[in-house]
Amino acid sequence: MNAKSIYSDEKIVSNQHQYNKEQRSLLIKRILSNRLMMFGSIILILLTIVAFLAPVIATQDPLAIDASSRLQAPSSEHYFGTDNLGRDLFSRVIYGTQASMVVGISVALISGFFGMVIGLYSAYNRYLDHVLMRICDGLMAFPAILLAIAIMAALGPKTVNVIAALSFVMIPTVARVIRSAALVVKEQTYIEALKSQGASGIRIIWVHIAPNTISQLIIQLTYVFAISIIIEASLSFLGVGIPAPDPSWGNIIYEGKAVIYNAWWMTVFPGMFIILAVLALNLFGDGLRDMLDPHSKK
Amino acid sequence: MKAYIIQRLLSLIPVMLVVAVVVFFIIHLTPGDPAAVILGPDASIEEVNHLREEMGLNLPIYEQFLIWITKVVQGDLGWSIYMDKPVLQAFLENLAPTLSLALMAQIIAILISIPAGIIAATKRGTFTDQTFMIISLLGISVPNFLLALLLVLVFAINFALLPVAGFQPLSSGILPHIQYLILPAFALGAIQAALIARVTRSSMLDVLNANYIKTARSKGVKKNVVIFKHALKNAFIPILTVIGQTFGQLIAGAVVIETVFNIPGIGQLIINAIMRRDFEVIQGTILLIAFSYVIINLIVDLLYGFFDPRVRLSAKN
């Protein structure tokens, strides 16, 4: 390359142009990412409404078997068609929304609480840290879904057990995130000042460190929510999750698998709801992370 | 390097111990008497008591654990009551299809994701970049069993291009083997592809902004040479990590995918064992998968030290 081209006016102009273009694309990206977050939020609100109002929205009893109308294609009477027992699929998917949202929110709250306690105390106390983090390492050595399958195999298929198993699986991840956030806060000068003033450990942890880890916790919990929905659906699909006849997105697809040749709707409709819910949670989480945690922005 | 290897090996001990304890106690979570559950409701009290004695269930729990862990260390993972053979043998017999599936999924994932990540990084902020990233977000949001069924609907039922389900071992020829595995492997690899693509993109972006890349470019080195020779090499460590971490998840994901396609692998072994309440099979299989997951992560960490001298030097201090 010759020196002339580097210093030529054209190059400077094109550099300026490049710079403007980059600034603009950055702006576009930011708006887009917020738009995506908006889209995610709207879907989440809609799904929450559907879950709360399931008895109102559902057109029929999700458990009512009607042998004369088995495996009917979607129609104005049955929006999503009927399943292998003639039950109205639309109503079942709506009630399945309720099941998935209950599992997801419960797991997020339970694993959030225990993960926070474990994370904060191991950040604060060296000895506890060694013990608790080795246990977390051990638990994280299991692929999440496998540990959940094993626990469900022992406990038996029940919604409460799904929540318990998933919470147990998620706690170490949450604890790790809170711990590393708390370790950063702990090094701040004001914590040192509080210590020298004689503030108790419990006070420092809960009044001064905990609130500064909340944004990290919330971001993490949206992902926990999303993963819970995926794993719950997988467990129910394997027949070790939410037991029949109560509908869940996963167990509807499980029943649909046997008739996939004649009834695509049993796979596609509950599947669409799973994808929408998880996508919405991921978009919401990404947007939240960009807003609350500017360092992570690429 | 030696110090680093020793340090990593020592750190495995507590992890393995926690894994073993968890696997042992999970089965003891089962409500009721395992012996009674195995024999079913028709068994007499004497029969149940006899089996309890045989399984060592009358011993204190820590003694049961010690006996079990001693056997495990010696390679005895228990006995499948239903299949009437050692758990380890059953595991090994079912291993090949799962490994084939996971490997093929990994290959597909790498082939798709790394080029996609590089293209997205070099065309940062453009339409191509955003399209790739939206596709990868979708990839992360679709559970693999669902993607599998959707692929079956389109490619096996609608277009009848590929078999709906089933498995052909490698011994019956490479082509049928691949033909039966392509849909399951794609469904399994999609999430991995999405994750690896995201990491490739962000890792490449970090490196492409580095001064030595700018220097190389301003010295007149061609763009492609800079991207592939200078940048990719240094961006590779995070990519390697995510590949290693996700390979363990592939094996777990294979468990679910196998039930969709009726592939006779580890997944079917576990699911059948759950249905038959064949506890020692569940225990042994989960333990082996968790152990191999730990070993894979160890290998990745060691490769790390190999590729990046900073990692092994920090172990010395």
- 3-state SS, A241-294, equals CCCCCCCCHHHHHHHHHCCCCCCCHHHHHHHHHHHHHHHHHHHHHHHHHHHHCH
Q: How confident is the model at residue A26 (pLDDT cuts 50, 70, 90)?
A: low
Q: What is the pLDDT of residue A6?
A: 45
Q: What percent of chain A has pLDDT over 70?
A: 87
- Least reliable range by pLDDT among A32-41, A127-136, B259-268: A32-41
| Structure tokens belonging to residue B176 | 């049928």
**B208-217 residue pLDDT tens:** 888 888 888 8
Q: Do A274 and B146 touch (CB under 8 A)?
A: yes
In contact, A157 and A239? CB cutoff 8 Å: yes
Contact (CB<8Å) A141/B294: yes
Q: How many CA atoms lie within 13 A of B81 on its CB side?
A: 18
* Mean pLDDT lowest among B51-65, B78-92, B171-185: B51-65
Q: What is the pLDDT of residues A223-276, one digit of tens each?
A: 999 999 999 999 999 989 999 889 999 999 999 888 888 889 999 999 999 999
Contact A33, A41 (CB under 8 A): no
Cα-based distances in Å from A74 to A80, A266, B153: 5, 10, 17
- What average pLDDT is seen over chain A? 86
Whether the per-residue pLDDT at A104 is higher than 90: the answer is: yes
pLDDT at A10 over 60: no
Residues in chain B closer than 8 A to A100 (CB atoms): none
Contact at CB, A141 and B149, closer than 8 angstroms: no
What is the rounded (10 degree) CA torsion for B78, B79, B81, B82?
110
Q: If pLDDT is split at 50, 70 and 90, which confidence band does B308 have?
A: confident
Rounded to the nearest 10 degrees, the angle between the axes of helix B87-122 and helix B174-208 is 50
Determine the pLDDT at residue B48: 82
Mean pLDDT lowest among A110-114, B12-16, B80-84, B139-143: B80-84
pLDDT exceeds cutoff 50 at A30: yes
Neighboring chain A residues of B157 at a CB cutoff of 8 Å: 260-261, 264
Residue A295 has what pLDDT? 63
Of B29, B146, B297, the CB nearest to A253: B146
User: A238 and B142 in contact by Cβ < 8 A?
Assistant: no
Helix A214-238 and helix A159-186, axial crossing angle in degrees, nearest 10: 150
Cα torsion angle, B21, B26, B29, B31, sign: negative
What is the average pLDDT across A137-160? Answer: 89
Q: How many other CB atoms sit within 10 Å of the CB of residue A202?
A: 10
Is the CB of residue A257 less than 8 Å away from at least one CB of chain B? yes
> Between B130, B145, B248, which is nearest A143 by CB?
B248
pLDDT the model gives residue B107: 94
pLDDT at B299 over 90: no
Residue of A155, A240, A279 with shortest CB distance to B137: A279
- Chain centroid to CA B304: 19
Shortest CA distance from A283: residue in chain B: B137
- Write out the H or E segment, with its range, that includes residue B85: strand B85-86
* CA distance to partner chain B, nearest, from residue A151 (Å): 6
Q: State percent of chain A over pLDDT 90.
A: 41
Contact at 8 Å (CB) between A137 and A126? no
Beta-bridge mates of residue B79: B86
CB-CB under 8 Å, A25 with B15:
no
Share of chain B above pLDDT 90, in %: 25
- Tell me how far apart the alpha carbons of residues A211 and B143 are, in angstroms, rounded to a whole number: 34
Q: List the single residue in B28, B145, B220 with the smallest CB-CB distance to A237.
A: B145
The encoded tokens of residue A164 equal 């318990």
Tell me what pLDDT residue B307 has: 73
Cβ of B149 within 8 Å of Cβ of A29? The answer is no
Q: What is the rounded CA–CA span in Å between residue B94 and residue B118?
A: 37
Q: Which stretch of A101-105, A222-226, B102-106, B120-124 has the lowest confidence by average pLDDT? A: B120-124
Q: Average pLDDT over chain B, rounded to whole?
A: 85
The string of pLDDT tens digits covering residues B137-175 is 888 899 999 999 999 999 888 887 888 777 888 788 888
Does the beta-carbon distance from B22 to A142 stay under 8 Å? yes
A26 touching B (Cβ < 8 Å): yes
B276/B37 Cα distance (integer angstroms): 10
Residue A230 to residues A29, A143, A189: CA-CA distances in angstroms? Answer: 28, 14, 42
Binary contact (A156, B270; C-beta < 8 A): no
pLDDT bin (cut points 50, 70, 90) of residue B250 is: confident
Q: According to the per-residue pLDDT averaged within each range, which of A23-32, B56-65, B281-290 is highest?
A: B281-290
Q: Which of A132, A86, A115 shows the shortest CA–CA distance to A217?
A: A115
Give the pLDDT score at A98.
Answer: 93
Lowest pLDDT segment from A20-34, A121-135, B173-187: A20-34
Q: Between A227 and B316, where is the model more confident?
A: A227
The Cα–Cα gap between B242 and B196 comes to 6
- B154: nearest CA partner in chain A: A264
Written as one letter, the residue type at B183 is L
- Which pLDDT score is estimated for A294? 61
Return the pLDDT at B313. 67
As a whole number, mean pLDDT of residues B69-83 equals: 85
pLDDT at B314: 66
Is the complex ipTM higher than 0.85? yes
- For A152-181, what is the mean pLDDT? 93
Nearest CA-CA distance, residue A237 and chain B, Å: 8
* CA angle A68–A74–A78, rounded 5-degree value: 60
* CA angle centred on B237, ends A173 and B187, rounded to 5°: 65
Query: In the beta sheet, which residues pair with residue A82?
Result: A88
Distance CA B36, CA B48 (A): 6
**Per-residue pLDDT, A7:** 47
Query: Domains of chain B by range and CATH?
Result: 19-76 (no CATH), 90-316 (1.10.3720.10)
Say whether A260 and B149 touch across the interface (CB within 8 A): yes
Chain B partners within 8 Å of A141 (Cβ): 15, 18-19, 290, 293-294, 297
pLDDT the model gives residue A4: 43
Mean pLDDT highest for which of A138-142, A258-262, B97-101?
Answer: B97-101
Counted across chains A and B, CB pairs separated by less than 8 A come out at 148
Which residues, 6+ apart, have CB-to-CB distance to B140 below 8 Å?
A278, A282, B191, B194, B195
Q: Does A207 touch chain B (CB under 8 A)?
A: no
Q: Is A43 on the interface with B (CB under 8 A)?
A: no
Which whole number is the average pLDDT over B102-110? Answer: 93
Mean pLDDT of A266-289: 92
Q: What is the reported pLDDT for A5?
A: 44
Q: What is the mean pLDDT of residues B112-133?
A: 89
Report the pLDDT value the prediction gives residue A15, as an integer from 0 to 100. Answer: 64
Return the sign of the alpha-carbon dihedral for residues B94, B97, B100, B104.
Answer: negative
Closest residue in A to B288 (Cα) is A142
Nearest CA in chain A to B261: A257
Residue A71's region, left for phi above 0, alpha for psi from -120 to 50, else beta, is left
Residues 6+ apart with CB under 8 A from B227: B118, B122, B204, B208
Distance of CA A23 to the CA centre of its chain: 32
Per the structure block, which two tokens stand in for A128? Answer: 């506890």
Residues 122-161, chain A: which have Cβ within 8 Å of B? 134-135, 137-139, 141-147, 149-151, 153-156
* Chain B contact for A230 (CB, 8 A cutoff): yes
pLDDT in tens, B191-203: 899 999 999 998 9
Q: Answer yes or no: pTM beyond 0.90.
A: no
Write out residues 184-243 of B within 8 Å (CB-CB) of A: 202, 205, 218-220
State percent of chain B over pLDDT 70: 97
Which residues of chain B make contact with A278, given a CB cutoff of 8 A?
Answer: 140-143
Inform me whether the pLDDT recorded for A1 exceeds 50.
Answer: no
* CB–CB contact A268 B150 (8 Å): yes
Q: Is B154 on the interface with A (CB under 8 A)?
A: no
